[in-house]
Amino acid sequence: MDRDVSTLPPGLAGDPYRAHVRAWLAAHVPEGFLADQPGFRAPDLAACRDWEAAMHRGGLAGITWPTEYGGHGLSLREHLIANQEIGRRALPESVNSLGKELAGPIILAIGTEEQKRRYLPPLLQMREIWCQGFSEPNAGSDLAGLRTRATRDGSAWRVNGRKIWTSGAPNAQRCLLLARTGAVEDRHRGLALFAMRMDAPGVTVRPLRQMDGREHFAEVFMDDVVIDAEDALGAPDQGWSAAVRVLAIERATNRMYRAWRFENELNHLVRACRADATLARLLDGGAYHRRLAETVVDIEIVKAHVEPVVDSLLAGESIGDRGSLMKLHWSEAHQRFAALALELLEQAPPGAGPEVQAARARFQRIYLSARAETIYAGTTEIQLGIIGDRILKLPRESAKGGR
C-alpha cells in the first residue's frame, strides 16, 4: 500500500495548492525541527515563533482569514490541504494555537472593524501570542459558573478574579478573557469577552507545572485590572453565546491536521521498532497486529469525520454539534495509540540505538500529553453529555411519578 497516496483526500492528489504547500515546506522547515527525523532538537519558544511567522508569510497560517486582516483569503479546502501536509510532517505544535484557532475566529465573528485590524495581523505575525482565560478553580466543566467579575469604570472595565489551567499564559501577550458582568446566578447571561493585555498592571501569572513536565498552562490572577473599552469584544451579554457558537465550530475544525499527524506518529513508531531487532520481532510476531490495525482504522475514522465538515461549512451548512463526536473519538483514539506506542517502545532492550531512544522520548511525551486530550476543550464526559442532550435530544428530566 502506498501510504503517501493513502493520505490524500478524495481527488486532491494533483491539486496545485498542495504542490505549493509541499514545495514551501520542503524549502523552509528548519534543520532539526522534525520529531521523527534524526538530529531532532525540540525547538524553543523563539524558534517556534520565527517558524510560525515564516509559515504565515508563506501562506500557511490565516489561510481562510480575509486579506485585510493579514489572512490569505482562501477557503477551508485550502486550509484542509495545508493541514494535511503539515500533519504529515512531525512539526512542532503551534505556540499560538489559541490565538489562531480560538481568539481569531471569535474576533472575526464579533469584533469591530478596528479590533480586527488591531488584533489579527500581530497574531498571525506572532508578535502577539494569545492565551485562553475561561476556566476557573470552581468553573471547569461548569464554565457558566465562573466568578471573575468585570465592572464598569467609566468607559473602561475593572476586572477581579482568578483563572486556572490557562493554556499558553506564561508566554502570552493577550488573553481571551471570559468574565461576569452580572450576578453569578445569571449563569450564561451577563458573561463578557475581553482581549486583555497580559502586561496590564494587576495581572499575575503563576505557571503550573504539568504532569508532562512542561509549564504551558498557568494560574492567572487579576487584581483590579483595567481593560479599556476598545478591548471589550462584542456586547457585554454576548460573550457566552459567541463563545459557544465559535467553540462548536472550533471543536470540529481546530488542528485539522490531527489525523495526518497521528498517521505520521504511527509510521514513526513502526520505523523505530523496525530499527531494533527485539522490537522488530515483537512487531512481526503478530501479537500487536490487532491493535496496530485498530489504530489505522481509528485514524481513518478521524479523517472520515473531518473531511465532511469542510464540505459542509463550504456549502454553508450548519455542522451543529458534530464536533463533539469528532473530539470524543480522536482524543480517545490518540490515547489508545499512545498507550500502544509506549508499551511497544518500553520493551526496547538496554543499549537500543539512537532511533529507538528518540522515538521513546517522542512517544513518552505524546503519551503523557495525550492524557490531557480527554480533559481539555470539554472533557469526555461533557462531550457524551452534549451528544445525549443535543444530538440524540434525550429528555433531560423525567416527570416525577409519571411520564
Partner 1 sequence: MAQAETGKTEMGKTEMGTADKGNADMGKPGMGTAAVAAARDDRDGIAAFAETARHAVAACAALPVRERARQLAGDGLLGILAPESAGGLGLGPSFAAPVMEAAGAGLLGYPLAETLLLGAAFGSAPVGPAIVLGETIATIAWAGIAEGSGDRLSGTVGRAPLVDEADLLLVATRTGAALVPLDGAGVTVQPAFGLDLETPEHEVVLTDVTPVATLDAAATAALREDALPLWAAAIGGAAERCLALALEHVSTREQFGRTLVSFQALRHALARQKLAVEHVRAALERHAALVAAGAPEARLAARTSYAAATRFGIAAIESALQLHGGMGFTWEVEVHRHLRRARTVEAQGDAPGLHRRLAEDLLTANA
Instruction: Using CB under 8 A, list all residues that contact partner 1.
Output: 1-3, 5-15, 77, 266-267, 270-271, 274, 283-284, 286, 288-290, 292-294, 296-297, 300-301, 303-305, 307-308, 310-311, 314-315, 325, 328-329, 381, 383-385, 387-388, 391-392, 394-401, 403
In the complex, least distance from residue 372 CB atom to partner 1, rounded to whole angstroms? 21
The Cβ-side half-sphere exposure at 351, using a 13 Å CA radius, reads: 2
Name the DSSP class of 162.
E
Nine-digit cell at 85? 501536509
In the complex with partner 1, the residue whose CB is nearer, 82 or 176, is 82
Considering just the CA atoms, what is the radius of gyration of the chain in Å?
Answer: 22
Q: Give yes or no: 250 in active site.
A: yes
Q: Can you state the angle between helices 322-345 and 289-314, rounded to 10 degrees?
A: 150
Q: 109 by DSSP, 3-state: which?
A: helix
Name the DSSP class of 392.
S
What burial letters (b/e) apply to 204-220, b meaning 16+ CB within 10 Å?
Answer: ebeebebeeeeebbbbb
In the complex, least distance from residue 89 CB atom to partner 1, rounded to whole angstroms? 16
In the complex with partner 1, the residue whose CB is nearer, 220 or 266, is 266
CB 145 within 8 A of CB 185: no
Nearest-angstrom CA–CA distance, 319 and 252: 8
- Residue 131's beta-bridge partner residues? 175
Closest of 266, 289, 275 to residue 348, by C-alpha: 275
In the complex with partner 1, the residue whose CB is nearer, 46 or 392, is 392
In the complex with partner 1, the residue whose CB is nearer, 211 or 399, is 399
In the complex with partner 1, the residue whose CB is nearer, 78 or 136, is 78
In the complex with partner 1, the residue whose CB is nearer, 254 or 383, is 383
In the complex, least distance from residue 5 CB atom to partner 1, rounded to whole angstroms? 5
Amino acid at 269: L
- Residue 157's beta-bridge partner residues? 152, 227
Q: Can you state the angle between helices 258-274 and 354-370, rounded to 10 degrees?
A: 140
In the complex, least distance from residue 185 CB atom to partner 1, rounded to whole angstroms? 24
Q: What are phi and psi of 202, to 5 degrees?
A: 100, -10
Of 78, 85, 128, 250, which residue is the catalytic one?
250
In the complex, least distance from residue 354 CB atom to partner 1, rounded to whole angstroms? 18
In the complex, least distance from residue 283 CB atom to partner 1, rounded to whole angstroms? 6
Positions annotated as catalytic residues are 250
